[in-house]
Amino acid sequence: MIDIKLIRENRDLVKENIKKKFQDEKLPLVDEVYELDIKYRESKAKADTLRSERNKLSESIGLLMRDKKIDEANKVKEKVSEINKEINEIEEEELALETRVKEIMMTIPNIISPEAPIGKDDTENVEIEVYGEKTIPKFEIPYHTDIMESLDGLDLDSARRISGNGFYFLVGDIARLHSAILTYAREFMIEKGFTYCIPPFMIRSEAVDGVMSFQEKANMMYKIEDEDLYLIGTSEHSMIAKFKDQILEEDKLPYMMTSYSPCFRKEVGAHGIEERGVYRVHQFEKQEMIVVCKPEDSEEWYDKMWYYTVEIFRNLDIPVRTLECCSGDLADLKYRSVDVEAWSPRQQKFFEVGSCSNLTDAQARRLGIRVNAGKEKYFAHTLNNTVIAAPRMLIAFLENNLNEDGTINIPVALRPYLNNQEKLG
């Protein structure tokens, strides 16, 4: 959520930003909220004036009663009663205006970074850099489900019978590999100075609305029936909401946390051959990182965070590339975002395995996360980044570490978490 002062002072900038995100249907909202804000402030000022008048009149009643001027005191009481009635009516109007202003402000997108390329969707994201050599083996690489099933490591049929499409059983060495990768990612982040956390896997609606746009909420979140609770789509939701309505001491910033959670998402995704198997699923596990920091430090943290993901994948012998997300691919709360994509030797192309985002103060404004800087308080900046999202990570790992005989090489960095085995299978 942007600062409403920006709309008061520079509506054209806000409108231009909306155009860059190809959301022209939201342009009338800028003028609407501008006018509503004027009415709200006028209403509030009028109510304040009436309260001041009422207080003075109330004080005079005591003096009149003391001087035995009963009739005059009663007339003043009647006037106070009329003012109270008027104040109540204005307060109702205030509340309605304030509610509508907030509703609109929650739908107007965050101002995007000058670094974000202008484009309609993810097909117009811009490649930044490739890390590692894009190898293509001489033998044919099977589809990832076939690799897993050859090691008796995947059971989709049983999952479909009890849960439906988009769910899976991981078994044996594949399940061990899955857990080992997550453990390695956790320890990697702890070594980088991040505090490990396991958060709640369900959060209330007010927390959901604080961390994501209404459209994302509708598309992603599972709601618990008859409860004001949602299953989280990523632990970022819980971890950022952890600071809701808090005033943080500036000298304790930044907060650097890495969190593990299962993740639940409604949509399986677009149809096509690469949507089979475990690439897009309703449930998966993830290691996440979040940072809450001073505004002047957020871009530096942004660059550090996405590179941590690159470093992890390279340590596991997986080539990756980074993409600067274009304006149309940025969710409404995001200032800037970079996707990390892993190389698929089977498809001979890259596919997304993680995303790092700087949301500046958009989440902090929605959640009331402020920083105490002595004489003044300001909204913190928040960032999040995928460390590892499994089982999607497994696809990249298996394809890039598969041998012609069907065995899987275990990179040196991962061996301590797999009984020092050099191969699986």
Q: Other CB atoms closer than 10 Å to residue 326's CB: what's the count?
A: 23
- DSSP assignment letter at 116: S
Q: Report the chain's mean pLDDT, rounded to a whole number.
A: 94
80 has pLDDT over 90: no
- DSSP assignment letter at 216: H
Closest alpha carbon to 239 in 384, 361, 359 = 384
Reduced to 3 states, what is the DSSP secondary structure of residue 407?
coil
Distance CA 297, CA 259 (A): 21
Q: Which two tokens stand for residue 90?
A: 């204005």
Mean pLDDT of 255-280: 77
Going along 29-161, which residue ranges are E strands? 126-131, 154-155
Q: How much of the chain, in percent, has pLDDT values that exceed 90?
A: 84
249 band by pLDDT with thresholds 50, 70 and 90: very high
> Counting every residue, how long is the chain?
425
Mean pLDDT of 247-253: 97
- Residues spanned by CATH 1.10.287.40 within the chain? 4-105
Q: Which residue has the tokens 């499994």?
A: 390
292, 369 Cβ separation under 8 angstroms = yes
How many degrees, rounded to 5, is the angle at CA 383 between CA 207 and CA 27? Answer: 70
Q: What is the pLDDT of residue 298?
A: 98
269 band by pLDDT with thresholds 50, 70 and 90: very low
Distance CA 322, CA 129 (A): 6
209 by Cβ neighbours in 10 Å (0-12 / 13-18 / 19+) ranks as: middle
Q: Which two tokens stand for residue 183?
A: 């453990």
Q: What is the pLDDT of residue 273?
A: 37
Going along 254-335, which residue ranges are E strands? 255-264, 283-293, 320-324
387 has pLDDT over 60: yes
Distance CA 381, CA 358 (A): 8
1, 362 Cβ separation under 8 angstroms = yes
Q: Which two tokens stand for residue 75?
A: 């007339």
159 has pLDDT over 50: yes
293, 253 Cβ separation under 8 angstroms = yes
Q: Which amino acid is at 266?
A: K
Mean pLDDT of 274-293: 88
Q: What is the pLDDT of residue 31?
A: 97
Question: What would the pLDDT profile of 339-364 be if each residue is shown by its tens digit?
Answer: 999 999 999 999 999 999 999 999 99
How many degrees, rounded to 5, is the angle at CA 362 between CA 356 and CA 367? Answer: 110
Distance CA 318, CA 358 (A): 25
Q: Which CATH number fits domain 4-105: 1.10.287.40, 1.20.1250.20, 1.10.238.10, 3.40.50.720?
A: 1.10.287.40
Distance CA 283, CA 392 (A): 11
Going along 158-205, which residue ranges are E strands? 169-170, 195-197, 202-203
Q: What are phi and psi of 146, to 5 degrees?
A: -65, -40
Distance CA 178, CA 393 (A): 9
393, 180 Cβ separation under 8 angstroms = no
**CB within 8 A of 161, min separation 6: which ones?**
none
Reduced to 3 states, what is the DSSP secondary structure of residue 294?
coil
Q: Which residue has the tokens 């520079």?
A: 10
User: Is domain 122-424 annotated with CATH 3.30.930.10?
Assistant: yes
Q: Which amino acid is at 75?
A: K
| Strand ranges across the sheet with 230-231 | 202-203, 230-231, 222-223
β-pairing, 202-203 vs 320-324, is unpaired
Q: What is the pLDDT of residue 128?
A: 97
180 has pLDDT over 80: yes
Distance CA 240, CA 237 (A): 6
275 band by pLDDT with thresholds 50, 70 and 90: low
- Residues spanned by CATH 3.30.930.10 within the chain? 122-424
Distance CA 365, CA 235 (A): 20
Question: What would the pLDDT profile of 214-231 be if each residue is shown by its tens digit?
Answer: 888 888 899 999 999 999
DSSP element (H, E) containing 372:
strand 370-372
Helix axes 27-66, 11-20, angle to 10 degrees: 140
Q: Rounded to an integer, what is the distance from CA 298 to the centroid of its chain?
A: 15
